[in-house]
Amino acid sequence: MRPSQATRPRPQRCSRTSKTSRQIMAEPPPAETEITSLSQAREAARSCTRCPLYEHATQTVFGEGPRDALVMFVGEQPGDKEDLAGKPFVGPAGKVLDEAVEKTGIDRHRVYVTNAVKHFKFVPRGKRRLHQRPDGGEIQACKFWLELEIAFIKPKIIVALGATAARSLLGKTVTIGKLRGAPIKRGDGATLFVANHPSYLLRIRDKTDQARERARFEEDLSMVRSAIPAP
């Protein structure tokens, strides 16, 4: 496996020889049996080329948190700040999540945070990089890493933040409004909750509407808190 090239400059446009998602997904990924720990999975993901997003992102942004985390939050993908820092949920949406976690009494030290897609997808606009939603092929390609994280962490509770995370975890396109507030039992024994992504709250312009949706988000996390098994 080649060493990490996380800091090398990335081109702003795909070259004519760039591979498509279909071509890259057809290549054999690292065998799951060759990765026997979370640390090995994190190291292997540094050189992931399973979809074209690696060509422009600064680096792979793998999940972070304790090996025995009770709760796993799964977002969509790293944003601009996460892409540069190499850490998940360190931007504005991460701050909203941290505030809600603290307010609802979830122990942040027992939480693992990650994303359904590990590379930042964007379009350049001058000096800015504007977020783009991952497509189905990119979500499916990156599900390999998310499934490894779940297998090694074995969280009791998984929270899908947003439609992309819910699609990855459920294997189909879903509507957040229809699933939020209703725990879903997974085959591995974990309980899945679906909620809006914190970035959704930041996009609401009206202060009254934003306060209402933030309160609903905190209600969702309160349900998560109530479902966490007692020590």
Residues 161-187 pLDDT 10s: 999 999 999 999 999 999 998 999 999
The tokens describing 80, both together, are: 């601009």
The rounded mean pLDDT for the chain is: 88
- This prediction has a pTM of 0.86
- Over residues 178-230, the pLDDT tens digits come to 999 899 999 999 999 999 999 999 999 999 999 999 999 999 999 999 999 88
Q: Is the confidence at residue 4, as pLDDT, over 80?
A: no
